[in-house]
Structure 1
Amino acid sequence: MTDESTEDRTELKKGLYLLKIDGGKKASAAGDRALGAYGFVLSDPTGKGMPDGQQGKLLEQPVGDPHSAEYEGLLAGLEFARQRDIQYIAVFSDSRTLVNQVNLLWKSSNHLTEYCSRASDAFAGFKGWQVSWIPRKWNDQADGEVRRAFQDAAGPAEVEHAD
């Protein structure tokens, strides 16, 4: 006899999970490296948030642009999903740069080439994946995680986001 809740959890793991990501850096003079942070929100196939699936983190090294922080959020979110044996994932980002680079529609800038390669390696661990652009206003939960990471570390900050 099969335990129904175990069967339900197994079926859910086969479904398409949703990962919203965001990244930003403290506003600074153009080109200056500054404190960066990322956030992600992982939801199961029913749209319900995963336990501990909302995370934001301050980056240990300053970043030159918000794209680096966005990629860090992507990599952290994918790792979080893989640790939970998720097989199919749809990623949503408000960064056109990240979305188009990961989908091989745009060539990656020199400083983002390694991130793009690491993302490709991370996606290889899934049976199926997609990355799509969403407007910033639809990414408010992941954005909130970025803001919370900055606030927890250094108080309120003006945040610069990727395009």
Structure 2
Amino acid sequence: MAVRAVVIEADGGSRGNPGPAGYGAVVRDPASGEVLLERSAAIGTATNNVAEYRGLIAGLEAAAELGAAEVDARMDSKLVVEQMCGRWQIKHPGLRPLAAQAAALVGRFAAVRFQWIPRERNKHADALANAAMDAAAGKPPREVIAPPPSPEPARAAPPSADTPARPASSGDAPARAATRGAGSDPATTPASWEPRPAEAATRLILVRHGETEFTAQRRYSGRGDVPLSARGRAQARATAARVAALAPTVAAVVSSPLSRCTGTARLIARAIGDVPVRTVDDLIECDFGAWEGRTFAEVRADWPGELDAWLASTRVAPPDGESFAEVAARVGRATEALLGAYPGETVVVVTHVSPIKLVLRDALAADDALLHRLYLDPAGISVLDRWPDGGVAVRSVNDTAHLSAL
């Protein structure tokens, strides 16, 4: 019989790290603490972190078997909780496929909240994991006596650790909400067809920088400071004229610190009356790590497994790079700061393709599939309005009419 909500307590460990390893997971009724399902298994030789991820995966699979819609996932592994919430990078390549598998399971629920708990409040899952480790080490099985649930109710996880309150179509649903900035969540703002006064909104004019040599060559271009090409400078001049026509009065022009953005931003600022350009570090492009400067085909050939994991989950980073979840967290901070600093005014934001996609994803209350389906041209313009109550109107996406003559 399906249940509305469950609590998962999960753990894993190894004796030797790596060594004989196992995991345990308990699914409870959140009101009574009754154990609904248990899962445990020996997994041979593995590390603690691998075993902990396997415990989480087993708990999520058990919750799905019960038909749960909402899950509170509690673990004493700080690493797994922080990585699943998108706050820590997943640097070890052996954990990335497991994180992607967990994220895909998360996408099957309406909401999942992750919370770290101390080990003494995770005794049942810990006991199951230890019994599994005994089995992995060839020791006689021990009986696991379920301890009573902790009388202390777990505090609700912060909203930033929730998934959207609806099923997601991508493999990494929690990352989207886990990376929202502070303030009202557009996904939870009451729907309305009622026209809103435009003058009360803060308008963000999102501009992707003009073309570079890397853009034309279809190379990963992240933190490398690749300048505008001749075509890119022409695009930036056309974009400046278009922005001036859209918004003759602009409160601020802000830019990523990289020269392809500052060069575009300066031309825009000049066209609208020499508004100063301010750089914001949080608006920089994703760090593509080892993939920087390489073509898409080269990355597919040399890192096929890592690329598949990256495409499957916004929590997975390229080797030595940064995940989209991490990018979204800092871009969310920058966006909220601008909304707070310029209420009811127009701000031009010159940045890169990844930050703009992430802003539009959240503004449209979309899931992560949008990141792979939305194409943004160099020097394209997108416009959105945001009201103080969190209401959002996306006015245009990837407007490139001003580039038609180039």
Q: Are residues 1:21 and 2:10 paired?
A: yes
Q: TM-score, normalised by structure 1?
A: 0.78
User: 49, 61, 72: which is aligned to 2:35?
Assistant: 49
Question: What count of residue pairs does the alignment treat as equivalent?
Answer: 137
How do 1:133-152 residues align onto structure 2 when only pairs under 5 Å count?
133-152=116-135
Percent identical among aligned pairs is: 27
Cα distance in 1 for partners of 2:94, 2:130 equals 24
Cα distance in 2 for partners of 1:96, 1:150 equals 21
Q: Over aligned residue pairs, what C-alpha RMSD do you find?
A: 1.7
- Residue 54 of structure 1, CA deviation: 2.2
Cα distance in 2 for partners of 1:116, 1:155 equals 30
SS of residue matched to 2:19: coil
Q: Are residues 1:82 and 2:67 paired?
A: no
Paired letter, 1:49: V
Measured against aligned partners, the alpha-carbon deviations of 1:44-76 in whole angstroms (never above 9, x if no partner) come to 1322111xx1232101x421x200000001111
How do 1:60-99 residues align onto structure 2 when only pairs under 5 Å count?
61-63=44-46, 65-99=47-81
Partner of 2:96: 113
SS of residue matched to 1:62: strand
Cα distance in 2 for partners of 1:26, 1:38 equals 12
Paired letter, 1:91: A
SS of residue matched to 2:108: coil
Cα distance in 2 for partners of 1:45, 1:20 equals 11
Paired letter, 1:37: G
Cα distance in 1 for partners of 2:23, 2:133 equals 9
Distance 1:152 1:112, change over 3 A: closer
Partner of 1:159: none
Q: Are residues 1:155 and 2:144 paired?
A: no
- Residue 144 of structure 1, CA deviation: 0.3
Cα distance in 1 for partners of 2:29, 2:122 equals 17
Cα distance in 2 for partners of 1:55, 1:122 equals 16
SS of residue matched to 2:114: strand
Cα distance in 1 for partners of 2:135, 2:54 equals 18
- Residue 98 of structure 1, CA deviation: 0.2
Does the CA-based 8 Å contact 2:42-2:135 persist in structure 1? no
Measured against aligned partners, the alpha-carbon deviations of 1:21-63 in whole angstroms (never above 9, x if no partner) come to 00001125xxxx322100011101322111xx1232101x421
Structure with greater strand percent:
1
- Residue 152 of structure 1, CA deviation: 4.2
Cα distance in 2 for partners of 1:152, 1:66 equals 16
Q: Are residues 1:101 and 2:114 paired?
A: no
Cα distance in 2 for partners of 1:148, 1:112 equals 23
Q: Are residues 1:58 and 2:42 paired?
A: yes
Cα distance in 2 for partners of 1:119, 1:49 equals 22
SS of residue matched to 1:40: strand
- Residue 111 of structure 1, CA deviation: 2.1
Cα distance in 2 for partners of 1:151, 1:68 equals 17
SS of residue matched to 1:99: helix
SS of residue matched to 2:99: helix
Cα distance in 1 for partners of 2:50, 2:56 equals 10
Does the CA-based 8 Å contact 2:84-2:103 persist in structure 1? yes
- Residue 107 of structure 1, CA deviation: 0.5
Cα distance in 2 for partners of 1:108, 1:36 equals 21
